[in-house]
Structure 1
Amino acid sequence: MLKLDTSNLRGDIAGGITAGVVALPLAIALGVASGLGAMAGLYGAIVLGFFAALAGGTPSQISGPTGPMVVVLAGLFASLSGDVELVFTAVMLAGVLQIVFGLLGIGEYIRLVPYPVISGFMSGIGAIIIILQLGRLLGHAPPGEPIGAITYLPTALADINFAALALGLGTLAVTYLWPSSWGRYLPAPLAALILGTLLALAAFDVPVLGAIPSGLPSLHLPTFDRDSLFLVAEAAVILAILGAIDSLLTSLVADNITRTRHDSNRELVGQGIGNGLAGLLGGIAGAGATMRTVVNVRSGGRGRISGMTHALVLLAIVLGLGPLAANIPHAVLAGILVKVGLDIIDWSYLKRAHKGPRWDLALMVLVLGLTVFVDLITAVAAGVVLAALAFVRQVANTQVQSLKNLPEHLDSPEEKALLEATQDKVSLFDFGGPLSFGAAADLGHHVREYSEPGTRILILDFTRVPFLDLSAALAIETIATDARASGKALYLAGMSAEVKDVLHGLNGGTPGDDAFATRLEALEAAKAALSGRDGGSRARPGRMSPAYQ
């Protein structure tokens, strides 16, 4: 049974109340941006915020609707022609997938996504949020996907509602200029929401949210439609992955502030429970929210009670909020969301990107572009694959460069003397560590390139190679075939039992002419073979040193 820590009760309650006030305008704005409405945003914040705090692995984290999740939901809502039941079904499926991720221990792997990929898709999401709000700032209702919103801009610019534009820009200015000392009592987003709404009521005729239902949520059971099944499933996967990444990144931020360590897999389970129940109760999907989490911690919140308090504060507001929220102008919410989008863009990396590796910058820009103009899952998948291939190539180059005939690296005077005594008729190659499949393709070429011109015996030293994959094993087999064709003997030295088993299993025997337990034995045998004491210039095929049998 879960036991709540009450040692920081006052701080947790203070942090939760403050986070709830900050979350209010964001939940409304993100709910509207998703296409599902303000109440869906609020109930997403309430249900996810409560249950993720109760069951998650980051006690100080505040969860709720976030920009990345809303971008996916808005696209799905548009694709399904406004069928809210199917959208809520996708939210529930995303929650189930996140629970599965946590139970399978995938939380540890999500943190391995390279930073340029994370930076690219987060900046892309920030750009999408801004693009989608530009039309609303101009007093229009643009399409809910980036390309449509961009193509709609000329229409909006031809018929600008200057009252809405002034109101939206004023709201944006308040979020930036609101004094931080005042923010302790009235957070900037909430101040912007109140001031903008009051100003619109007094002086402007601009589009507003309109009637909003209030009260307790209604139940939305999962529904499935054969024609829309793929869209719903794809959106669920994207929501689950994005929510997982977003939440775990926020968990790392919380760890850095509180000097604690979160439980990644438990956090995914908590997020999954919260999102699953949010969809069931008519709320939009969400994740760990960085800004709200930081506000909570800075206000004294440290434990689960803070996140649960934040949700209960929102619930209390919602039960009587409907009539008041109906008068909130779209332009005011657009101004708040533009600030959210600008905050999501990774400005800190962009300012320093020209000083780092060009490949990382190119990868970030590629992921950003795919995020905006294709879709999020393609962007992340392409980014991870390209980053992995680039890393493999870099490691392979390092491994191949270390594979040279360099006798000066021999530490043993005895081994160095034996190699010098062979008068350049022996080429010794030392594998500096594990051989990746990326290096395998160039192994044979480099052995030929760096062999001495008069080489009669090749020695491959596997002392520092703990294992081989199939690609590397086949490359060794190719080296053995080339040696045989050119009249050279091939000795293998220092193979571990695992390396020996792989080579033996693929070839029905160890490739080459001989195998030795140590490099020293191989050098001694090579000298003996060259001097004719071991049956001539060639070693006897298939013989192994007694110590290695």
Structure 2
Amino acid sequence: MTFKFNNLRGDIFGGTTAAIVALPLALAFGVASGAGPIAGLYGAIIVGFFAAVFGGTATQISGPTGPMVVVFAGVFAAYTDQPELVFTSVILAGLFMILFGLLRLGDYIRLVPYPVISGFMSGIGCIIIILQFGRLMGHEPPSGPLMALASIPSAVVDPNFSALAIGIITLAVVFFWPARFNRYVPGPLAALFIATPLSMLFTGVPILGEIPSGLPEMQMPMLTADTAFLVIETALILAALGSIDSLLTSLVADNMTRSRHSANRELVGQGIGNSLAGLFGAIPGAGATMRTVINIRSGGNSRLSGALHSLILLAVVLGLSPLASMIPHAVLAGILVKVGYDIIDWSYLKRAHRGPRWDLILMILVLGLTVFVDLITAVAIGMVLAALAFIHQLAKTQLANIDTIPGRDLSTNEAELLKHADGRIAIFDFGGPLSFGAAADMGHRARERTSGKVSSLILDFSRVPFLDMSAANAVETIIQDGKNSGKRIYLTGLHDDVHAVLKGLGVLDMVPPEQQKGQRMDALTEALSALSGPKGAMEPA
């Protein structure tokens, strides 16, 4: 934990600008979560400060984000009368993130395929928009995207026109605010300052109401036998989402600053922030892309800017909460609609038709599951399908690399020996790593390419750095089939790892040691010599 003061002016300006942007978003996320605006503000303060101090991305600004709020809001709605259970899930989520960091899982979390990430992020964007539609109409929508979606027709038929007018003004500001003004007054803050005073000209506009001021109260963790599964499941989802969200933002920060973040340290920092946030009744958070980008563009380049962003928000909470109580729900809903719109991966959707069709199908599937089922199911199914698709493609590539006579990269001498063999010797070149994806068809490929008058089969492993259990079983099948058909079997080019696997499984016991050669040339020479022997290649190995 070190602070650098060589860019003090830039860090102050970056932290201040990030705090200005974070203020309306924190209020909006707090309301959307069900825990209230003050919980959103303290989420930005606590997670933002401790993630900046202990995290692994110097320029990252952390706080409540769309993905985290969507999951948190679901569990908060289920246990509104037991908030201690809800915040226990936040505390546990933070502890899980710390554990992820200590186990050095940060590098693995980034291996989630892009179509899966794009699908669930876009799905979360859609959920945010669906949940805010009712508030734009002046109504309080039910929790959950499906119920909120079902309530939209009734909200459209019976709108609160005053709230709708304020919502439309807010949407116009956040969507059409000139980019050149963003450096001085970001669009969300401009919408807050413009639409809130205008709302006083209307009657019947729902507002936030009284917001508690002062420091938050501690929420002691509580876990019961009948709620343990849901709380732990929610904590794991929050931890996974927060980890992915934060590390993706870290990659954006790296690209802008030409630096390199520490993924595992970032998870520890985010975990500390979220554990403390849950302990003080605040909503969870993660690295926030938009606020991080604004911090960097405004001059922030060290963890000091993130810490200052939180301290400025704390000053606002302690001194200006009475003014915030006048903010209409429709204003915050309009701001969140823009957040949801920005989360949707429009960039990919616009060019998806030019990429692999399967990736687009996977993205849309994950998006649909995120909106209409739940996030964990969407990500789990997306990961499984992406892995199966990759294995299928890998298996096709591995099988395509398998070749026989005349083989690949044969030397002049090897080619001459094969010519003398007159088709009675086959080299089965595996061509590269062997995995279970290719194992099922490997034996068939060998039988197909070594039929006819082939009497000696050389299995060349020189291009195979490793193989798994399934591939080893396939090799065993090839050897057994060859022996059953009277072929003499030779093994050549076995790397140490491959040799160890085949030896451990007893596969090497099927081939006499004198027919296990280090070089392919040695195997060819002996196989050709065996052809001219009294029993020829018909002598079983």
**In 2, Cα distance between equivalents of 1:406 and 1:102:** 51
The offset of 1:466, in angstroms, is 1.8
1:517 corresponds in structure 2 to: 518
Residues 538/525 of structure 1: CA separation in 2 closer, same or farther (3 Å cut): farther
- Aligned pairs (5 A) from 1:2-151: 2-151=1-150
2:529 corresponds in structure 1 to: 528
The offset of 1:504, in angstroms, is 2.2
DSSP-derived class of the 2:147 partner: helix
The offset of 1:540, in angstroms, is 6.4
**Number of residue equivalences:** 539
Confirm or deny: 8 A CA contact 2:90 2:238 kept in the other structure. Answer: yes
2:537 corresponds in structure 1 to: 537
Confirm or deny: 8 A CA contact 1:427 1:452 kept in the other structure. Answer: no
AA of the residue aligned to 1:526: A
The offset of 1:508, in angstroms, is 6.6
1:319 corresponds in structure 2 to: 318
Q: CA RMSD in A?
A: 1.4
The offset of 1:408, in angstroms, is 5.4
Deviates more, 1:24-33 or 1:218-227: 218-227
Confirm or deny: 8 A CA contact 2:403 2:431 kept in the other structure. Answer: no
2:245 corresponds in structure 1 to: 246
1:546 corresponds in structure 2 to: none
1:3-47 Cα distance to aligned partner (Å, 9 max, x none) = 211111111011001100110000000000000000000000001
The offset of 1:158, in angstroms, is 2.5
- Aligned pairs (5 A) from 1:156-235: 156-235=155-234
The offset of 1:518, in angstroms, is 1.1
Confirm or deny: 8 A CA contact 1:41 1:284 kept in the other structure. Answer: yes
1:229-274 Cα distance to aligned partner (Å, 9 max, x none) = 1111111001000000000000010111111110000000000001
1:111-137 Cα distance to aligned partner (Å, 9 max, x none) = 111111110011000000001011111
Confirm or deny: 8 A CA contact 2:407 2:427 kept in the other structure. Answer: no
Confirm or deny: 8 A CA contact 1:504 1:511 kept in the other structure. Answer: no
DSSP-derived class of the 2:226 partner: helix
DSSP-derived class of the 1:429 partner: strand
AA of the residue aligned to 1:197: T
Report the TM-score, using the length of structure 2 for normalisation. Answer: 0.97
Confirm or deny: 8 A CA contact 1:410 1:416 kept in the other structure. Answer: no
AA of the residue aligned to 2:235: A
AA of the residue aligned to 2:474: A
The offset of 1:196, in angstroms, is 1.3
Residues 5/29 of structure 1: CA separation in 2 closer, same or farther (3 Å cut): same
The offset of 1:222, in angstroms, is 0.7
1:312-357 Cα distance to aligned partner (Å, 9 max, x none) = 1100000122221221111111100000000000000000000000
**In 2, Cα distance between equivalents of 1:183 and 1:496:** 60
DSSP-derived class of the 2:216 partner: coil
**In 1, Cα distance between equivalents of 2:466 and 2:510:** 16
DSSP-derived class of the 2:2 partner: coil
DSSP-derived class of the 2:227 partner: helix
Q: Which runs of 5+ in 2 are unaligned?
A: none
AA of the residue aligned to 1:375: D
Confirm or deny: 8 A CA contact 1:45 1:65 kept in the other structure. Answer: yes
**In 1, Cα distance between equivalents of 2:8 and 2:394:** 50
1:288 corresponds in structure 2 to: 287
DSSP-derived class of the 2:209 partner: coil
- Aligned pairs (5 A) from 1:474-513: 474-507=473-506, 509-512=508-511
DSSP-derived class of the 2:452 partner: coil
1:385 corresponds in structure 2 to: 384
AA of the residue aligned to 1:169: I
AA of the residue aligned to 1:458: L
AA of the residue aligned to 1:473: A
Confirm or deny: 8 A CA contact 1:88 1:279 kept in the other structure. Answer: yes
Report the TM-score, using the length of structure 1 for normalisation. Answer: 0.96
Confirm or deny: 8 A CA contact 1:443 1:475 kept in the other structure. Answer: yes
Q: Which runs of 5+ in 1 are unaligned?
A: 542-549
**In 1, Cα distance between equivalents of 2:274 and 2:174:** 29
DSSP-derived class of the 1:226 partner: coil
**In 1, Cα distance between equivalents of 2:260 and 2:340:** 28
AA of the residue aligned to 1:371: T
2:417 corresponds in structure 1 to: 418
Confirm or deny: 8 A CA contact 1:52 1:274 kept in the other structure. Answer: yes
Using the aligned pairs only, state the percent identity. 62
**In 2, Cα distance between equivalents of 1:128 and 1:406:** 58
